[in-house]
């Protein structure tokens, strides 16, 4: 299920979200992993993943957000 959005968004940077696989064992509590730019639907995206341990080493939540840099990121 994917939301269709206009490709000519006025903002050069906006947030979106989608599902990815995260090697959680490589992230410590509070550590953030930033992915390289990925080109999707003609736009450049960078993923930020942060691990937060709330109830012990076996329980955690992941927060992530996507930044869109448009076509200006590679210039």
**In this prediction, what percent of the chain has a pLDDT beyond 90?**
0
Choose the most confident range, by mean pLDDT, from 14-18, 34-38, 70-74.
34-38
Residue 64 within any structural domain of the chain: yes
Residue 44 within any structural domain of the chain: yes
- On the 0-12 / 13-18 / 19+ scale of CB atoms within 10 A, 56 is exposed
Of 60 and 25, the structure prediction assigns the larger pLDDT to 25
Structural domain including 21 reads 15-70
DSSP codes, the chain: ------SS-S-SS-EE-------GGG--TT-EEEPPPEEETTEEEEEEEEEEESSSTT-EEEEEEEEEEETSTT-
pTM: 0.38
Taking only the tens place, the pLDDT of each residue in 54-72 is 655 555 555 556 676 665 5
Residue 23 within any structural domain of the chain: yes
How many structural domains does the chain have?
Answer: 1
Residue 37 within any structural domain of the chain: yes
Residue 35 within any structural domain of the chain: yes
């Amino acid at each position: 299920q994917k939301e269709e959005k206009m490709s000519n968004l006025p903002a050069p940077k906006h947030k979106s979200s989608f599902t990815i696989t995260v090697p959680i064992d490589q992230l410590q509590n509070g550590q953030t992993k930033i992915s390289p730019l990925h080109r999707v639907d003609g736009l450049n995206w960078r993923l930020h993943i942060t691990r937060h341990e709330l109830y012990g080493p076996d329980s955690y939540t992941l927060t992530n957000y996507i930044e869109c840099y448009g076509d200006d990121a590679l210039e």
